[in-house]
Amino acid sequence: MSLPSSLWLVGCGNMGGAMLRGWIDAGLSPQAVTVIDPGRPTVPEGVTVLEASPSGTAPQVIVLAVKPQLLDAVAPSIATVRPALLLSILAGVEEATLAAKIQADAIVRAMPNLPVAIGRGVTALHSVTADAAVRDTAHALVAPLGKVEWIADEASFDAVTALSGCGPGFVFRFIDALAKAGAALGLPEDQAARLALATVEGSAAMAAQASEAPAVLADRVASPGGSTREGLNVLDRDEALNKLLAATLRASCDRNAELAAAARR
pLDDT tens across 17-53, in order? 999 998 998 889 999 999 999 988 999 999 999 998 8
| Amino acid identity, position 87 | L
Give the C-alpha separation, 74 to 11, whole Å.
9
- Architecture per CATH, 167-257: Orthogonal Bundle (1.10)
User: What CATH homologous superfamily does 7-152 map to?
Assistant: NAD(P)-binding Rossmann-like Domain (3.40.50.720)
Residue count (the chain): 265
145 within 8 A of 19, measured Cβ to Cβ = yes
Q: What is the mean pLDDT of residues 43-65?
A: 91
Greatest mean pLDDT range, 36-40, 149-153, 175-179: 175-179
Tell me where in the chain the CATH 3.40.50.720 domain(s) lie.
Answer: 7-152
Tell me where in the chain the CATH 1.10.3730.10 domain(s) lie.
Answer: 167-257
Question: Which stretches does DSSP call E strand in the chain?
Answer: 7-10, 33-36, 48-50, 61-64, 85-88, 107-111, 121-126, 146-150
pTM (predicted TM-score):
0.88
